[in-house]
Amino acid sequence: MADEPVKKILLIDDSSQVNDHMRRMVRSFKREQWELEWADTYAEGLKKLLTGKYGVCLLDYRLDEGRDGLQLIREANAAECTTPVIFLTADPDIDEAALSAGAMDFLVKAGFTATDLERSIRYARRLSAMMNQLRQQATRDKLTGLINRREFDRLLDEEWQRSTRFKHGFSLVIIDIDFFKKVNDTYGHQAGDAVLQHVSSLLAGQVRSIDRIARYGGEEFAVVMVETDRAHARDTIDRLRALLADTPCLIPEKNLTIPVTMSAGVATAPEDAETLQQLIETADAALYTAKKSGRNRVVTAKARASKDPWGGTPPAPAAAAGPAT
């Protein structure tokens, strides 16, 4: 059997002496083999941490340019980093703040041994795994594995706030599987579940990693397309519509091949809405138009005639778009 790959620890600390000391500790571990990598600045440490390639991060409290590890943890958490962090500091009174910020454990620099560090790493990893599992259960749809409606609403609100603050547009897409009730009535609910999994897998495999896709409810899905204008959103979703139409759902154990199509409505901020609720309603209205006009098509909302919420002249209204336009 091949040896297990060496796991990596990221140390973020501005002291080369601490780096040397931690390397000696890591080399003396008894139970597992680890390799230590070092980042001596806030920026470099955060960049490495966000790669996700480390099993655990050892983070110093005091970093360069007056910044500290608490800030770094919060920034990493905001970027959805799940690497467990163990806080290192000479100040034992910072423990509560470190744990509140998201650290999995806390060690006082002058008071721990290699055995303590190895034990802390095991503890932090197990605690992090349990928390990630709970987070998955709370934020993911059990059937499809996509984020659920509650989590999507939270992320959509965040994107609206970010869009408003930084003047970056984005698009919201609401998707509905065509004639899904007929699938359930004809083939049964297990086949319906298979179709939902088929569609979710196809969509999730095609959208960008920075976008957010969710099971919105029943046979509906929703996508937040970050920094994407109306035309690009329409073209991307129409490509996915065509791909789905050409990719039937196969259920070998039942010897079934079920053709599947979808309809979609696209609304774009800020052109189509002054509020987040209005954006959702506009995308939903565009979806309703797509379904009423024949299904298996993508329809974009028309830009408002009112003043753009970011100021300036609003764009000209956009025509609805289907697969043939």
**How far apart, in whole angstroms, are the C-alpha atoms of residue 117 and residue 11?**
13
Q: Are the C-beta atoms of residues 63 and 46 closer than 8 Å to each other? A: no
Smallest CA-to-CA distance from 300 within 325, 275, 276 is with: 325
Supply the pLDDT for residue 303: 59
**How far apart, in whole angstroms, are the C-alpha atoms of residue 166 and residue 176?**
31
Q: What is the CATH number of domain 149-300?
A: 3.30.70.270
Starting at the edge strand found earlier in the chain, the sheet holding 220-226 runs 212-217, 220-226, 170-177, 262-269, 298-300
Please tell me the pTM assigned to this model: 0.65
Supply the pLDDT for residue 6: 64
Q: Parse the chain into domains and list their residue ranges.
A: 7-139, 149-300
Q: What angle do CA 10, 12, 15 make, to 5 degrees?
A: 125
Supply the pLDDT for residue 307: 42
Supply the pLDDT for residue 138: 84
For the record, the structure tokens of 16 come out as 């080369």
3-state secondary structure of 288: helix
Per DSSP (E only), the strands in the chain are 7-12, 34-39, 56-60, 85-89, 105-108, 170-177, 212-217, 220-226, 249-251, 256-258, 262-269, 298-300
Q: Are the C-beta atoms of residues 224 and 155 closer than 8 Å to each other? A: yes
**How far apart, in whole angstroms, are the C-alpha atoms of residue 204 and residue 211?**
10
Supply the pLDDT for residue 111: 82
Supply the pLDDT for residue 324: 37
Pick left, alpha or beta for residue 179 (phi over 0 → left; psi -120 to 50 → alpha; otherwise beta). left
Residue 21: C-alpha distances to residues 10, 164, 204 (Å): 14, 47, 44
For the record, the structure tokens of 302 come out as 């028309």
Given the residues 118, 159, 219, 271, select the one marked as catalytic.
219
Count of beta carbons in the 10 Å neighbourhood of residue 319: 10
Residue 324: C-alpha distances to residues 242, 299, 320, 321 (Å): 11, 11, 11, 8
pLDDT in tens, 25-41: 999 998 888 999 999 99
Place of tokens 């299904």: 295
Report, as ranges of residue numbers, the positions in the chain whose pLDDT lies below 50: 1-2, 305-322, 324-325
Q: Does domain 7-139 have CATH number 3.10.20.90?
A: no
Instruction: Check if 219 is active-site.
Output: yes
